[in-house]
Structure 1
Amino acid sequence: MAHQYFVSPEWLEANLDNEQVRVVDATIFFDLDHDEMLRTGKEQYENVHIPGAVEANLFDLSDSEAKLPFTAAKQKDFVTKLEEMGISNDTHVVIYDSGPQVGVNYSASIWAARLAWQMLYAGLEKVSILEGGLDRWLAENRVTSKEIIRYSKGHLQVEPKDQYYASKEDVMKAIQDDTTNLIDALSPEQFRGEIAPYGEDKAGHIPTSVNVFYGSMSDSETGELISKNNLALKFLESDALSPDIDIIIYCGFGVGASWIFMILKSLGKQNVAVYDGSMDEWTQDSNCPIEKSKIDLDF
């Protein structure tokens, strides 16, 4: 049976006592109205989490020397921190979070996906996201805990899968390459340049990219993914499901893009990568082109 990149609450609840399953809480609160716009879910985790879950601080699991937030950590450092969570090669890791951003009207486990992408990029194989995240788990009145468990150190022997990672240079080449398509995972408004978080002169998207908004993949109420047929329709314009087309996904800082990456993996896509620096890096380089468009290709 093929690996499932998303698991249901029913599946996870039935496997909570499985010693080969490690549940990971990757919650980050992204709150534009809070003094600390980006903060960990540590306080929430200490009050309520899925039984047996360990907390994953995505700040600590990123490259501390990088200029951009949530830059993928160096392989050795990242693997060591996963081992400290009790993760080994035979561990099935199931990751969840508490939603993409405080106050939005859509659902997407982008923080769980970011960690999932990092793990797959590092070379792990058995990595899944809990469909609907903690919100769905709580809404369905499933068992929770305050107990914090310390696991014995795991042992990982993995090699990075470089094909899952894209650099600024890779994206620049893709603009001129008919066999590599770009997906912009940001909102249609930001894609078109109507919202300009990096400044009006940097509003818009990377040329040739197609907009597939990360917030359009799930039911906004339950967090359940829409049907596989409807997911596939989202990627028609980008030709993302063609085995002959390489895909590079970007967003603001590589988090929403990781959600699209995981969905494409669940649809069987092999040749897909995340542009780690995304628009945070792209907009800082005057040599990197940006264009605006009135065409919304997401539906």
Structure 2
Amino acid sequence: MSPLISTTDLAAHIADQGLLIVDCRFDLARPAAGELAYAQGHIPGAIYAHLDRDLAAPITPSSGRHPLPHPEEFARTLGRWGLTRETQVVAYDADTGAYAARLWWLLRWAGHRSVAVLDGGFRAWQDAGLPVTTDIRPRTPTHVEVAADRSLWLDAAEVAARAGSNQWRLLDARAPERFAGEVEPIDPVAGHVPGAINHPFALDLGSDGRFLPPEELRARFERSQDGIDDDHTIAMCGSGVTACHLLLALEAAGKPGGKLYAGSWSEWIRDPARGIATGR
């Protein structure tokens, strides 16, 4: 299945057995807002995944703001959702896919590849006049075993050894002003990893929050990668969330194989010995 699914295709399969729809709406400034929005209306059959609670581990003194969940804890979360090997997962958020992409990546890291992101999210679903409900359907719990793929992500030491190399490309998904260190509304230190290239995740979206066509995505990534292979491309952001959006967009462009810098900027700055660059 494509990493993206349209509202039309999801609506046509919404009654399918084995479909799990996950609402990933979230707001970094208001962590309770997404769950409240879900309670006020969501796609029929959807369950809710909270970024901090379900899609990340607790913060530690050396971690970034959204550490990867422990595989065993993530397995328990998936079991509460009733996941099986045959389950087709569709993740969505408000519109851009910035948070839904985190679940997309986590499931693939956990060995479950039957997952797609709703292109345009809840806004596209509503704009299409499709049904919304406040009902919450109980799921039958399952036992899930996670075989996390360590090859899909890098830690800070591994990134430091590769950033700036002419064999690797580190793409930073944050907005240009944050990358440049001109503003920093979230983390205590501004700037970027030396050697990183700015590729804002919004660059891969149209004004409606939907992903650009594959050929346009490919062209934009090829400019940012500048000849570097997909499997030597690393995505990062503030905390390892919107970086997953870059990896999703690469996949949608037919360019799989990118790696995630899981801790991203909020982990990088935990160690003052690590370099910091500013400017565009």
Query: Where in structure 2 are the equivalents of 1:45-64 lying within 5 Å?
Result: 45-61=38-54, 62-64=56-58
CA distance in 2, matches of 1:182, 1:250: 7
1:80/1:71 CA distance change after superposition, 3 Å: same
CA distance in 2, matches of 1:184, 1:57: 24
Residue number in structure 1 paired with 2:174: 186
Helix, strand or coil at the partner of 1:249:
strand
Helix, strand or coil at the partner of 1:258:
helix
- Which one of 119, 125, 133 corresponds to residue 107 of structure 2? 119
Residue number in structure 2 paired with 1:95: 91
Helix, strand or coil at the partner of 1:95:
strand
- Which one of 246, 249, 252 corresponds to residue 232 of structure 2? 246
Residue number in structure 1 paired with 2:97: 109
Helix, strand or coil at the partner of 1:59:
helix
- 1:180: Cα distance to partner? 2.0
CA distance in 1, matches of 2:166, 2:251: 22
CA distance in 1, matches of 2:90, 2:20: 6
Residue by residue over 1:80-114, the C-alpha shift from the partner in whole angstroms, topping out at 9 and shown as x without a partner, is 11111111111110000114xxxxxxxx2111111
CA distance in 2, matches of 1:241, 1:124: 30
Is contact 1:243-1:269 (8 Å) kept? no
- 1:60: Cα distance to partner? 1.7
Task: Please list every run of 5 or more consecutive structure 1 residues that lacks an aligned counterpart in the other structure.
Answer: 32-36, 100-107, 295-299
Q: Which amino acid aligns with 2:60?
A: A
Query: Where in structure 2 are the equivalents of 1:167-178 lying within 5 Å?
Result: 167-175=155-163, 177-178=165-166
CA distance in 1, matches of 2:171, 2:195: 9
**2:61 matches 1:43:** no
Greater mean deviation of Cα atoms: 46-55 or 229-238: 229-238
**2:11 matches 1:6:** no
Is contact 1:165-1:275 (8 Å) kept? yes
1:15/1:241 CA distance change after superposition, 3 Å: farther
1:93/1:196 CA distance change after superposition, 3 Å: same
- Which one of 260, 266, 269 corresponds to residue 252 of structure 2? 266
Higher fraction of helix: 2
Q: Which amino acid aligns with 1:205?
A: H
Q: Number of residues paired by the alignment?
A: 276
Residue by residue over 1:32-56, the C-alpha shift from the partner in whole angstroms, topping out at 9 and shown as x without a partner, is xxxxx33352222122110111111
What's the TM-score once normalised by structure 1's chain length?
A: 0.86
Residue number in structure 1 paired with 2:19: 21
For the aligned residues, what is the CA RMSD? 1.9
- 1:70: Cα distance to partner? 2.2
CA distance in 2, matches of 1:283, 1:81: 30
Q: Which amino acid aligns with 2:2?
A: Q
Is contact 2:59-2:65 (8 Å) kept? no
**2:207 matches 1:209:** no
Percent identity for Structure 1 against Structure 2: 27
What's the TM-score once normalised by structure 2's chain length?
A: 0.91
Q: Which amino acid aligns with 1:169?
A: A
CA distance in 1, matches of 2:259, 2:60: 20
Is contact 1:179-1:244 (8 Å) kept? no
CA distance in 1, matches of 2:247, 2:151: 12
**2:61 matches 1:82:** no
Query: Where in structure 2 are the equivalents of 1:147-186 lying within 5 Å?
Result: 147-175=135-163, 177-186=165-174
- Which one of 146, 160, 170 corresponds to residue 134 of structure 2? 146
Helix, strand or coil at the partner of 2:260:
strand
Residue number in structure 1 paired with 2:220: 234
CA distance in 1, matches of 2:180, 2:89: 37
Is contact 1:24-1:56 (8 Å) kept? yes
Is contact 1:26-1:57 (8 Å) kept? yes
Task: Please list every run of 5 or more consecutive structure 2 residues that lacks an aligned counterpart in the other structure.
Answer: none
Helix, strand or coil at the partner of 1:110:
coil
